[in-house]
Structure 1
Amino acid sequence: MSARQWWFDSWAIEKLVWPKTKGAGVTVAVLDTGVEARLPDMSGAMVPGKAFRTSGDGSTDTEDAGDFGHGTGMASLIASRGTKTGFMGVAPEAKIMPLATPGISDSSSPDAIKYAADNGAKIVSISLGSSAGNYPHQCPPDMLEAIGHAAKKDVIIVASAGNEGSTGNRPVFPASCPGVVAIGAMDNKGQAWASTQRQDYVTLSAPGVNIPALSQDGRVWPNGNGTSHASALAAGAFALLRSEFPQKSAREIVQLATNTAKDFGPPGKDNRFGYGTLSLRTALTQQVPASAPNPVYERLDKALADTKPAKTKPAAAEESSGTSPLLIIGGIVVVLAVVGVVLFLFLRRGKKSGPQAPPPPGFGGPGGQGYFNAGHVQPPAPGMAPPQPHGQQPPVPGQGAPQPPYGQAPAGGPQGPPQGAPPGGTPPQS
Structure 2
Amino acid sequence: MTAGPLPRTLHLTRLLLATAAALALLLLDAPSAQALPGPRSQEWWFDAWQLQQKVWPLTQGDGVTVGLIDSGVEARLPELRGVVLPGEATNGTSTGDGRVDSDKNLGGHGTGMAALIAAQGSGSGMVGVAPKSRILPVVVPTTGYDKAIRYAVDHGAKVINMSQGIPAPTCPMELRAAIRYAIQHDAIIVAGAGNTPFYESSYSPANCPGVLTVGAVDAHLAPWNKSTPGSNVMLAAPGVSVGSIGKAGVFTPDVNGTSSAAALTSGVAALLRSHFPTMSGREIVQRMLATARDVGPKGWDNKTGYGALIPYKALTADVPETAPNPVYASFTAKATEHRAAIPSTTRSKERGKKEGNHRVDGNITIFTILFLVTVMALAISIFYLRRRGSAN
TM-score, structure 1 length as denominator? 0.71
Correspondence list, 1:275-354, <5 A = 275-308=306-339, 309=342, 310-312=346-348, 315-316=361-362, 317-318=365-366, 320-322=369-371
> In structure 2, how many angstroms separate the alpha carbons of the residues matched to 1:207 and 1:170?
19
CA–CA separation in structure 1 for the residues paired with 2:279 and 2:327: 16
Q: CA deviation at 1:323?
A: 6.8
Gaps of 5+ in 1: 326-430
Q: Distance in 2 between matches of 1:203 and 1:147?
A: 17
Q: What letter corresponds to residue 241 of structure 1 in structure 2?
A: L
* 1:24-103 equivalence runs, <5 A: 24-52=62-90, 53=92, 54-64=94-104, 67-103=106-142
- 2:157 equivalent among 121, 138, 148: 121
Aligned residue runs from structure 1 range 188-227, under 5 A: 188-227=219-258
Q: Is the 8 A contact 1:34 1:100 kept in 2?
A: yes
Asked if 1:13 corresponds to 2:84, the answer is no
In structure 2, the CA distance between the partners of 1:191 and 1:249, relative to structure 1 (3 Å rule), is: same
CA distance in 1, matches of 2:120, 2:88: 22
Tell me the residue number matched to 1:380: none
| Equivalent in the alignment of 1:142 | 174
Aligned-pair distance for 1:307?
Answer: 3.1
Q: Using the TM superposition, give the Cα deviation of residue 180 of structure 1 relative to its aligned residue in structure 2, in angstroms.
A: 0.2
Task: Check whether the contact 2:200–2:231 (CA below 8 A) recurs between aligned residues.
Answer: no
Cα distance in 2, alignment partners of residues 172 and 51 from structure 1: 23
Q: Normalising by structure 2, report the TM-score.
A: 0.77
Runs of 4+ aligned structure 1 residues displaced above 6 Å come to none
RMSD over equivalenced CA pairs, Å: 1.7
Q: How many residues align?
A: 316
The structural deviation recorded for 1:320 is 2.4
1:101 CA drift (Å): 2.1
Query: Retained in 2: the 8 A contact 1:254–1:294?
Result: yes
Residue in structure 2 matched with residue 405 of structure 1 by the alignment: none
Unmatched 5+ residue regions in structure 2?
1-38, 350-359, 375-392
The higher relative CO (CA closer than 8 Å, separation ≥ 6) is in 1
| 1:332-386 CA distance string (max 9 Å, x none) | xxxxxxxxxxxxxxxxxxxxxxxxxxxxxxxxxxxxxxxxxxxxxxxxxxxxxxx
Q: For 1:272 and 1:39, how far apart are their aligned partners in 2? A: 35
Residue in 1 aligned with 2:209?
A: 178
| 1:33–1:102 Cα contact (<8 Å) kept | no
SS in 1 for 2:225: coil
Q: Compared with structure 1, are the counterparts of its residues 192 and 47 closer, same or farther at alpha carbon in structure 2 (3 Å cutoff)?
A: same
Distance 2:173 2:317 in 1: 37
Per-residue deviation, 1:67:
4.7
- Alignment partners' CA distance in 2, 1:235 and 1:268: 23
**Greater shift in the superposed pair: 15-24 or 78-87:** 78-87
Q: Give percent identity, aligned residues only.
A: 43
Look up the equivalent residue of 1:82 and give its one-letter code. G
Which residue, 287, 294, 297 being the options, matches 1:263?
294
Equivalent residue number for residue 422 of structure 1: none
Q: Distance in 2 between matches of 1:62 and 1:47?
A: 16
Which structure is higher in helix share?
2
Contact 1:131 1:170 in 2 (8 A): no
Checking the alignment, whether the CA contact within 8 Å between 2:101 and 2:111 is kept in structure 1 is: yes
